Chain A
């Protein structure tokens, strides 16, 4: 049973953030499909953990649940969410990143849309692999499954994504 003191919690909280933040972001991103909002969910969940005075049995599960609840609340405020997404898309800084010169905006949105059509479990393995560069072993430990099962799920997820991209008319050079 672990607890996080609310006053003298700088070091444990920072350590926990270093250990869990990337994984939480990936899971939240797989859940909502928006990188910025997933990052906000990570921050919100850790902020609520810092404010929490009661004992928490499983902090990782608690953080995931809090972050998902926050994302669900944000999704309910649909109008606000749409505006935020449009504002993020209008941000000129993203288009000037060198990596985005590899895609045009339409291709980027097609990949994003295709990812959203996948099952959440498929998105999770894809994001953990390609966003965090985790090995199948590490992904298996996180998702409580074997590395072989992760590899199979990755293969299926890539095939489904290719199919979705083709249906969206994705043109690849």
Chain B
């Protein structure tokens, strides 16, 4: 009594062909899978997308680059624009006379010290112009120095 396999269990040539294709697809080293071994190690020009050559592609690339540049510029302008309420942490003492004056809208709340009434020197007990209304009291005068002048001795004749 022979053990015959069922026809549907037998491997056909097509089955074997499919098995071999799958088996060797995994078994073959990567560098030998392609018909050209050079394709296994692509060059830089093959990895990086080539530059457009046709005029249409060039125009599309130029438009894209312009869009990118304008977007970046808008972002830079927005990020560096002043605050809406004009508040800035600027130390007035740090500004020198050589520096250009800030815009008027930025200093619209700034009042110079000499224009502030409550800070006037006279109201703080001082005299604004010493030559104008100097009190003529002896306390404020500097006492005169008594200088003794010694006359020079005449040269002795040789």
- Name A's B-contacting residues (CB within 8 A): 17-18, 21-22, 25-26, 29, 35-36, 39, 94, 97, 99-100, 102-103, 108, 111-112, 126-127, 130-133, 155, 158-159, 161-162, 165-166, 170, 172
Q: Are B27 and A18 in contact (CB under 8 A)?
A: no
Complex: how many Å from CA A132 to CA B32?
7
User: Is B35 in contact with A133, judged by CB distance below 8 angstroms?
Assistant: yes
The yes or no answer to B81 lying at the interface (CB within 8 A) is no
In the complex, chain A residues whose CB is within 8 Å of the CB of B32: 21-22, 25-26, 39, 131-132
> Provided the pairs A166-B5, A172-B19 are in contact, do residues A18 and B26 lie with their beta carbons within 8 angstroms?
no
Bound Cα distance from A36 to B37, whole angstroms = 17
Q: List 30 A-B contacts (CB under 8 A).
A: A18-B36, A18-B38, A21-B31, A21-B37, A22-B37, A25-B32, A35-B27, A36-B29, A94-B26, A99-B22, A99-B26, A102-B22, A103-B22, A108-B23, A111-B20, A111-B23, A127-B24, A130-B17, A130-B21, A131-B24, A131-B28, A132-B28, A159-B13, A162-B11, A165-B11, A165-B16, A170-B11, A172-B11, A172-B15, A172-B19
* 0/1 string, B5-17, CB within 8 A of A gives 1: 1000011110111
A127-B10 Cα distance, complex, nearest whole Å: 23
Alpha-carbon gap, A12 to B86, bound state (A): 74
**Counting CB contacts under 8 A, is B66 at the interface?**
no
Q: Which residues of B contact A166 (CB under 8 A)?
A: 5, 10-11
Smallest CB–CB gap between B27 and chain A, Å? 5
State which of B15, B22, B37 has its C-beta within 8 Å of the C-beta of A17.
Answer: B37
Given the interface pairs A22-B37, A25-B32, A126-B20, the reply to whether A100 lies near B26 with Cβ below 8 Å is yes
